[in-house]
Chains A and B, each alone.
Chain A
Amino acid sequence: MAEPMRIRATSKDGVVNVKVLMSHEMETGMRKDASGKVVPAHFIQHVTATWQGKTVLSAQWGPAVAKNPFLEFNFKGGQKGEKIQITWTDDKGDKRTDEATIN
């Protein structure tokens, strides 16, 4: 099971800044290991951020997103103390959701 995401959400002047650091190999399927065997692709395909049940960002990713992906975006309306959830799903069907409180 994948490691938890690190999420920081800070509200300023009615805009919430969200920074997410995910823990994922993001294998491209092109790389070879020491013995010359191709390492199979394994990467996050979907990312969704929700706040108060509303999707504030959704994304589709390919294998060219860097290892241990970082993502930053801003949305309007969030208040301090409210929660934001981030979910990712990878090409093997692994899934992880983490929650952070806006401050």
Chain B
Amino acid sequence: MNHTRRRVLKASGSAGLIALLAGAGLSVPDIAVAADWNKTAFEGKTVQDAFKGLGAGSPANSAQIVLNAPDIAENGAVVPIVVESKIAGTESIALLVEKNRSPLVAAFDIPPGTESSVSMRIKMNESSNVYALVKANGKYYVAKREIKVTLGGCGV
């Protein structure tokens, strides 16, 4: 990885500089594509950092978010998870693993007409709390669940 460029990007964080670089004929292929990827949230090192990066300061606990997953996952590289929000007006769902190096795993936008439930498979470094963060009607809600991992998933 080109570390100088990383630093420049981190330092600037502005579209202006990117345009400048592009204008100067420098090759910046991944910037244009990843422009709206939430780098701050995905590279946050704690659950709180990731919450902040997603715009959720202190979400309220909710029993209306269902995290369906095995209590014990044998293989941390493939942990099946279903997140379902029963909160009316759910706009987005994010999934976080507390003890992964970067907790945020995925963030979904749920447009009207799409059911507020997603199913996927994630990696877990070790046994950890897993959080589901839901945004509904402009407010944030959270639910957590502990998943034990027998074999960690290659250093996430």
Q: Interface of A with B (CB < 8 Å)?
A: 15, 26, 28, 30-31, 40, 45-46, 54-67, 69-77, 89, 91-93, 95
Across the interface, do B114 and A76 meet the contact criterion of CB distance under 8 Å? yes
Across the interface, do B42 and A58 meet the contact criterion of CB distance under 8 Å? no
Q: Interface of B with A (CB < 8 Å)?
A: 1, 29-30, 32-34, 36-38, 42, 77-80, 97, 100-102, 104-111, 113-115, 117-124, 153-156
Question: How distant is the Cα of A57 from the Cα of B101 in the complex, in angstroms?
Answer: 27
Across the interface, do A74 and B114 meet the contact criterion of CB distance under 8 Å? yes
* Inter-chain pairs besides A64-B104, A64-B106, A75-B115, 6 sampled, C-beta below 8 Å: A28-B154, A30-B155, A46-B36, A61-B106, A64-B124, A66-B120
Closest-by-CB residue of A relative to B124 is: A64
Kindly list chain B residues whose C-beta atoms are within 8 Å of the C-beta of A72.
Answer: 118-120
The one of A55, A57, A60, A66 in contact with B123, judged by C-beta atoms closer than 8 angstroms, is A66
Given the known inter-chain contacts A59-B109, A60-B106, please indicate yes or no for A45 contacting B37, CB distance below 8 A.
Answer: yes
Kindly list chain B residues whose C-beta atoms are within 8 Å of the C-beta of A65.
Answer: 105-106, 120-123
Kindly list chain A residues whose C-beta atoms are within 8 Å of the C-beta of B118.
Answer: 57, 59, 71-73
The one of A30, A58, A75, A92 in contact with B156, judged by C-beta atoms closer than 8 angstroms, is A30
What does DSSP make chain A's interface, helix, strand, loop or mixed? strand
Question: How distant is the Cα of A97 from the Cα of B111 in the complex, in angstroms?
Answer: 20
Given the known inter-chain contacts A30-B154, A60-B106, A61-B106, please indicate yes or no for A66 contacting B113, CB distance below 8 A.
Answer: no
Closest-by-CB residue of A relative to B115 is: A74
Across the interface, do B155 and A57 meet the contact criterion of CB distance under 8 Å? no
Closest-by-CB residue of B relative to A27 is: B154
Across the interface, do A63 and B156 meet the contact criterion of CB distance under 8 Å? yes
The one of A28, A56, A66, A74 in contact with B121, judged by C-beta atoms closer than 8 angstroms, is A66
Across the interface, do B114 and A66 meet the contact criterion of CB distance under 8 Å? no
Kindly list chain B residues whose C-beta atoms are within 8 Å of the C-beta of A93.
Answer: 29-30, 32-33
Question: How distant is the Cα of A40 from the Cα of B2 in the complex, in angstroms?
Answer: 12
Across the interface, do A64 and B108 meet the contact criterion of CB distance under 8 Å? no
Given the known inter-chain contacts A62-B42, A64-B100, please indicate yes or no for A74 contacting B106, CB distance below 8 A.
Answer: no
